[in-house]
Amino acid sequence: MASISALPRPGLPLLCGLIFRILASLCGSVLLGRGQVAAAVEAPPEFQVKAVFLSNFARFVEWPRDVAAQADEVVIGVLGADPFGLYLDEVLRGQKVNGHALVVKRYGSVAEIDRCHVLFMSGSEGERAEPILQALRTRPILTVCDTNAFARHGAMIHLVMDQQRVRLRINLDAARQAGLVISSKLLRTAEIVTDSEGMR
């Protein structure tokens, strides 16, 4: 296995501290009247926080060696209706993981997904959750959702809102089936589930 992100400097505190630094920075830009950033922060606060989590998952995952070797950039994808607006673009702008730029791609269907490392599956696609995850099951893509529809069918990371905080549920069986290794640093912050639990 080779890692696009070898878990360099930023340890797990990045998932908390970076949230506040980015939110503060973007809010400051809005006060200065930056139109594009203003549009970005119109995303609901819940998705502002989820965008920061999404942008950091690549730092805590190892991809198969051939995938890592081919990566000139790390792709964060959104499948279906995008709840982030421009906010995810702003969060990723200028960020790198081990020298690889983080970029956003948006997909209207699973058939459009070519090279992708981290994929957020929107609730708009919930009715198609099972065939979507079947199509992605053995592909080296970290699948992320915030709905039970995808979690039931084997999404690797489920973002769960709990009293205005984001909790993580991680399906290790699904990640291993796709050849991904999730760092213990991330696992320590999450509730670990199996495929059978995810299907409940």
**Mean pLDDT of the region 8-24:** 44
- pLDDT on residue 21: 42
Give the closest residue to 82 by CA, choosing from 142, 127, 124: 124
Helix (H) or strand (E) segment spanning residue 50 = helix 45-56
What is the maximum span of the chain, computed from C-alpha positions, in angstroms?
Answer: 50
Q: What is the spatial distance between Cα 21 and Cα 100, in angstroms, rounded to a whole number?
A: 22
3-class secondary structure, 8: coil
Cα separation of 155 and 77, whole Å?
A: 14
| Start-to-end C-alpha separation, the chain | 31
Burial class (CB in 10 A: 0-12, 13-18, 19+), 99: exposed
- Cβ contacts of 14 within 8 Å, gap of 6 or more: 56, 59
Q: pLDDT-derived band of residue 22, with 50, 70 and 90 as boundaries?
A: very low
Query: CA 182, 167, 12, 187 torsion: positive or negative?
Result: negative
Q: What is the model's pLDDT at position 31? A: 30
Q: Could you tell me the pTM of the whole model?
A: 0.78
pLDDT of the residue at 197: 59
Structural domains of the chain ordered from first start: 14-198 (3.40.50)
Strands (E), 27-178: 61-62, 73-79, 96-97, 100-107, 118-121, 142-145, 157-162, 165-171
Distance separating alpha carbons of residues 2 and 138, to the nearest angstrom: 17
pLDDT tier, 26 (very low <50, low <70, confident <90, very high otherwise): very low
Residues in the chain: 200
pLDDT digits over 55-105, tens only?
999 999 999 988 765 668 999 999 999 999 999 999 999 999 888 999 999
Q: What angle do CA 73, 74, 79 make, to 5 degrees?
A: 125
